[in-house]
Structure 1
């Protein structure tokens, strides 16, 4: 067994990688939010010419209708639904007492200290007989989710601001 590490540390590192992956998904989605606003943080909108529905409008009269773009497009809100990680590892001895050097305890955590818990050492670089050494199989499933309350309120407010802002006769 060449490079053993505590199983707890390995699991914490995997959990940290999953949290980091979700954070990167969210950061990617947030970076595209600015595409819907101009440099002064006003919502970008599209102006559409439509036949006027005003009761006193003539047959050729048109309405200019302004609609903010954000509520018009589908927002892809993704989140990690499931993670499956499989690997082969050699199991080392069960150790009571001493905390492995790589274990870090945040202040304020309650419960038994890591020193009081037994820990198990593993060698993740030792793959099984039929696998390449150090190989890991990762399956990450994402799913669409509902927009956050803040995003839903923003899109609802922007939807309420859309509408006709001018009626005119062609040629005016």
Structure 2
């Protein structure tokens, strides 16, 4: 039995899925950033023992050099570049709906502030997504999503720059005979 779905609802659902996917990418990237800070939000760092570069250092002297981890690793920031969605449908009935109806509890002032203008009937095309074609199975959808690497945001770049400026020698071991 054919299932009639309003075409605007189908397109809205697909757009919402893309927005949700981008939101998940951003939340994962925030969690990734959080991995570089401890439970007190201090940057995690690594301590490296290096031969001392001080002018009065001997050959055996070593400096302890502390470097925050975040500026040392590459940040893989991603965003959805584009999405291609193709599907086969059979055009169904045409109905009138109150697409921009003001919901109960909204004041007229609220409705006008966000561009909704009250009840207005619009024709809506319904589609049947259960059709069969020679290439696709019933209700099939083909989705291609491309992601691209992006530059760090200004806030992330400033944070990494500040952390990079805090790295340096914090102690020298002097071997004396």
TM-score category, normalised to shorter length:
0.7 to 0.9
| 1:54-105 Cα shifts (integer Å, max 9, x gaps) | 111112111111000011001110100010111100111333x3337xx887
Residue 98 of structure 2 corresponds to residue 99 of structure 1: yes
Q: After superposition, where does 1:18-167 map in structure 2 within 5 Å?
A: 18-95=18-95, 97-99=96-98, 107=111, 108-110=113-115, 115-167=120-172
Aligned length: 169
Q: TM-score, normalised by structure 2?
A: 0.85
Q: TM-score, normalised by structure 1?
A: 0.87
| CA pair 113-11 structure 1, distance change in 2 beyond 3 A | farther
- Please identify, of 25-34 and 76-85, the stretch whose mean Cα deviation from structure 2 is larger: 25-34
Q: 5+ residue gaps in structure 2?
A: 104-110
Q: 5+ residue gaps in structure 1?
A: none
| CA pair 72-104 structure 1, distance change in 2 beyond 3 A | farther
Name the SS of the counterpart of 1:66 in structure 2.
strand
Counterpart CA distance in 2 for 1:169 and 1:134 is 74
